């Protein structure tokens, strides 16, 4: 239900600082000859990230692999309680750990319940990075969801209504090209308002719309014909089709609400309207050759964009609404990859000495010329059809009212597919090879460039790097990432989340426990990182600019019985340190934007306290110190503590079983899907300073990567049904550390 606090009262000073610091994004204030998009622009919000690297000298006690399980004091008990079969036992001996299905509930979707059950059954608890990453995802997603439903929906409605009315007024007085531009805006904002407005069957309990909302938010009484046709394509999620309003090809499958936006009708409508504002471009360039529209059409679209920007510029309260939405969503997901209102306002001031609402044909041409000096998008977002590489990026340059955001993983994907990757030079059939080209990327591309040597090796082993120019392009991207400093890595929550994953992706050498020095552990940590990244993409699916390809184990019948047993924390202290810095960045940034409610603030404080304690315990483990009784009590009771970090959270938000589509290949009718499945259990042989070894267990992610037809983009609900009935295979490289029950994928 909507609260009385509807309008987000963001401090004007905070928003102004944020925008001046580079929040206008790729192209708004960056000339074409600037450095890599990975290092372009700055951000005032990186000041909210305060992180001091830990100074830890690894000197953990260890053991020799393969492990002699006869020397593990609780081996028989744990093997019985967790139903370890011969294959699982063999992997445990070989690697010092194994991941199994949850024997207590093979379809477990939570990360907290397993801790409680393990404690009750007397199995020593292993605190995993997976569990605290999942809890951060919940906080990230819940705060965003609340802001969108209770605050941004109303702001976006007010913006669209005011700009529609202004466009109608301009169309009644303007002439020639300016009138055509105003009529284009009438159609554009009519679509947005119609998408936001609840239909008669959308109001009621649990919809997000009250009966009063149905009266307050009403669609325009009459719509231009082009807007009616546009709405039909959007609501049908019709795939590739020519836009009736903009005349170029659009991928209407993107308008299927997914992520957390299926949780209420209000969020579904917000999703479709914001997707419309994020994807549809008022194109800058037109004419012959590689252009998507003719020169006259591009001039009309540029004049229309100038009218929108000028209307915002003339009304400070209207501009403040736009800035509220843009600034806070940029704190989460980053800056727009495209030009927007502030870029057009700046260009008009430079060109004309002021901001003009209606431009003559000559003035429009002068504005187009001035705007061509700004950097083009870095990510090809699928606008148009049949274009290639840089030509496609130039052709898609233009104005997006609330443009989707530049994210580094989409940039990686766009650079490592056709045509940049070159021809296939291998002999097999890798995942990425479709139609003779590297048409689909893989998430291993991202992890390799975040620092995972194991991901790079797996790309080679699976022949996904066996393309003529793959090494050259990935080498250039590696150099670009190397130039990103700590402030750049923490420019917003999206980048900072990726930065928190990097300590999991390194190589663990001398001084670390034996199980961490194996290639299998690197693959387990790779799975953790991939699943957490999938949650990040799921949470930001509306805002992150998606890249396109250019042209049953048995239950254990044991009565619960609490036992005071020892435990262990996954010894990655720098990971906990960085994630804690991200948690505090989230709290302080949202508080500065007046976007933090008491309940999420309490949850984040609880997570902050837990992470600080985990960093301390894991550092002492890694340095070979004995843990205290209080440390062991903290580990045993970690389930209760983490559960308190989920206070007042909707059960739907707690599930691990989520999915996100992250890349599209319209030419082969494919989308790349990343999914997180049921919670597994990792069993670890944990060393102690007295040289004894204890088996401990904790919850871990399961991860999937697969393709679907363009028209088959998956919602969380559809993915959960797929998991129950016919799950896809897990990545081939997880076989080295995972033991699954027969018939399980």
Q: Determine the 3-state secondary structure of 99 from DSSP.
A: strand
Q: Determine the 3-state secondary structure of 636 from DSSP.
A: helix
Tokens standing for 696? 């401990």
Cα separation, 198 vs 228, whole angstroms: 16
Cα separation, 223 vs 229, whole angstroms: 10
Angstrom distances, CA of residue 94 to CA of 66, 390, 630, 642: 5, 49, 32, 32
Tokens standing for 465? 């790097």
How would DSSP label each residue in 460-498?
HHTTTT-BTTHHHHHHHHHHHHHT--HHHHTSSHHHHHH
Q: What single DSSP character describes residue 48? A: G
Residue labelled with tokens 């699928």: 382
Answer for the pair 531, 703: CB distance below 8 angstroms, yes or no. Answer: yes
Nearest-Å Rg of the Cα atoms of the chain is 26
Is the full-model pTM beyond 0.95? no
| Crossing angle for the helix pair 176-196 and 295-314, to the nearest 10 degrees | 70
| Crossing angle for the helix pair 598-622 and 573-592, to the nearest 10 degrees | 160
User: Would you give the end-to-end CA distance of the chain in angstroms?
Assistant: 40
Cα separation, 132 vs 144, whole angstroms: 19
Largest interatomic CA distance in the chain: 89
* pLDDT score, position 314: 97
Mean pLDDT by 10 residues, the chain (745 residues): 33 42 41 62 72 90 95 95 96 98 96 96 97 97 95 97 97 96 98 96 89 90 95 94 96 96 96 98 85 92 98 97 96 94 97 94 97 89 60 85 96 94 95 95 98 98 97 97 94 96 97 97 98 98 92 37 68 96 94 90 94 96 93 93 89 95 94 97 94 95 96 96 96 94 59
Residue labelled with tokens 């040289």: 691
How would DSSP label each residue in 653-693?
HH-S--EEEEEEETTTTEEEEEEE-S-EEEEEEEE-TTS-E
* pLDDT score, position 151: 93
Angstrom distances, CA of residue 196 to CA of 31, 430, 494: 35, 42, 27
Answer for the pair 144, 264: CB distance below 8 angstroms, yes or no. Answer: no
Residue labelled with tokens 């999991």: 504
Q: Is 236 exposed, middle or buried (0-12, 13-18, 19+ CB in 10 A)?
A: middle
Instruction: Print the SS3 string covering 15-33.
Output: HHHHHHHHHCCCCCCCECC
What residues contact residue 80 under an 8 Å CB cut-off, 6+ apart? none
Count CB atoms within 10 A of the CB of residue 294. Answer: 13
């Amino acid at each position: 239900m909507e609260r009385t606090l509807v309008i987000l009262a963001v401090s004007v000073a905070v928003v102004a600082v944020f925008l001046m610091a580079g929040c206008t994004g790729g192209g708004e204030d960056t000339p074409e000859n600037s450095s890599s998009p990975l290092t372009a622009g700055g951000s005032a919000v990186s000041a909210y990230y305060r992180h001091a690297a830990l100074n830890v000298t690894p000197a953990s006690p260890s053991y020799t692999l393969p492990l002699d399980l006869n020397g593990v004091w609780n081996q028989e008990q744990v093997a019985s309680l967790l139903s370890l079969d011969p294959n699982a036992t063999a992997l445990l001996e070989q690697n010092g750990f194994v991941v199994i299905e949850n024997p207590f509930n093979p379809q477990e979707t939570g990360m907290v319940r397993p801790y409680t059950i393990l404690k009750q059954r007397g199995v020593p608890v292993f605190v995993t990075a997976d569990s605290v990453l999942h809890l951060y995802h919940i906080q990230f997603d819940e705060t965003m969801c609340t802001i969108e439903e209770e605050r941004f929906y109303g702001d976006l409605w007010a913006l669209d209504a005011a700009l529609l009315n202004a466009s109608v007024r301009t169309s009644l007085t303007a002439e020639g090209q300016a009138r055509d531009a105003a009529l284009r805006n009438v159609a554009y904002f009519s679509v947005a308002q119609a998408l936001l407005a609840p239909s008669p069957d959308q109001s009621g309990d649990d919809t997000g719309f009250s009966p009063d909302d149905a009266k307050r938010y009403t669609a325009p009484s009459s719509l231009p014909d082009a807007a009616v046709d546009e709405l039909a394509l959007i609501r049908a999620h019709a795939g590739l089709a020519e836009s009736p309003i903009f005349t170029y090809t659009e991928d209407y499958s993107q308008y299927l609400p997914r992520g957390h936006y299926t949780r209420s009708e209000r969020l579904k409508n917000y999703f479709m309207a914001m997707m419309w504002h994020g994807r549809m471009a008022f194109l800058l360039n037109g004419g012959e050759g590689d252009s998507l529209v003719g020169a006259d059409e591009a001039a009309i679209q540029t004049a229309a964009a100038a009218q929108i920007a000028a209307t915002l510029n003339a009304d400070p309260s209207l501009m403040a609404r736009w800035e509220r939405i843009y600034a806070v969503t940029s704190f989460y997901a980053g800056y727009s990859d495209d030009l927007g209102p502030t870029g057009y306002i700046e260009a008009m001031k430079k060109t004309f000495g002021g901001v003009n609402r209606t431009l003559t044909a000559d003035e429009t041409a002068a504005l187009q010329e001035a705007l061509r000096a700004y950097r083009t998008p870095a990510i090809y977002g699928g606008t148009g059809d049949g274009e290639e590489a840089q030509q496609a990026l130039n052709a898609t340059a233009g104005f997006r009212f609330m443009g989707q955001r530049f994210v580094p993983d989409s940039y990686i994907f766009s650079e490592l597919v056709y045509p940049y990757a070159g021809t296939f030079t291998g002999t097999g059939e890798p995942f990425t090879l479709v139609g003779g080209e590297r048409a689909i990327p893989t998430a291993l591309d991202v992890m390799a460039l975040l620092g995972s040597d194991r991901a790079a090796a797996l790309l080679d082993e699976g022949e996904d790097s066996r393309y003529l120019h793959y090494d050259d392009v990935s080498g250039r991207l590696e150099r670009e990432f190397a130039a990103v400093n700590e402030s750049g890595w923490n420019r917003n929550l999206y980048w900072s989340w990726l930065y928190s994953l990097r300590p999991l992706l390194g190589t663990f050498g001398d001084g670390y426990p034996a199980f961490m020095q194996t290639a299998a552990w690197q693959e387990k940590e790779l799975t953790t990182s991939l699943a957490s990244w999938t949650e990040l993409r799921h949470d930001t699916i509306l805002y992150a600019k998606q890249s396109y390809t250019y042209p049953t184990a048995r239950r254990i019948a044991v009565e619960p019985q609490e036992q005071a047993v020892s435990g262990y924390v996954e010894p990655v202290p720098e990971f906990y340190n960085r994630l804690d810095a991200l948690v505090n960045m989230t709290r302080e940034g949202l508080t500065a934007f007046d976007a933090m409610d008491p309940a999420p603030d309490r949850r984040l404080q609880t997570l902050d306290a837990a992470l600080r304690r985990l960093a301390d315990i894991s550092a002492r483990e890694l340095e070979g110190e004995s843990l205290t009784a209080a440390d062991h009590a903290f580990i045993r009771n970690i389930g209760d503590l983490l559960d308190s970090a989920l206070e007042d959270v909707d059960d739907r938000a707690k599930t691990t079983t989520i999915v996100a589509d992250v890349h599209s290949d319209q030419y082969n009718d494919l989308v790349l899907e990343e999914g997180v499945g049921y919670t597994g259990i990792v069993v670890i042989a944990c060393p102690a300073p007295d040289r004894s070894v204890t088996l401990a267990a904790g919850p871990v992610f399961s991860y999937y990567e697969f393709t679907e037809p363009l028209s088959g983009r998956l919602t969380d609900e559809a993915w959960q049904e797929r998991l129950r009935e016919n799950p896809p295979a897990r990545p081939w490289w997880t076989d080295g550390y995972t033991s699954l029950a027969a018939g399980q994928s």
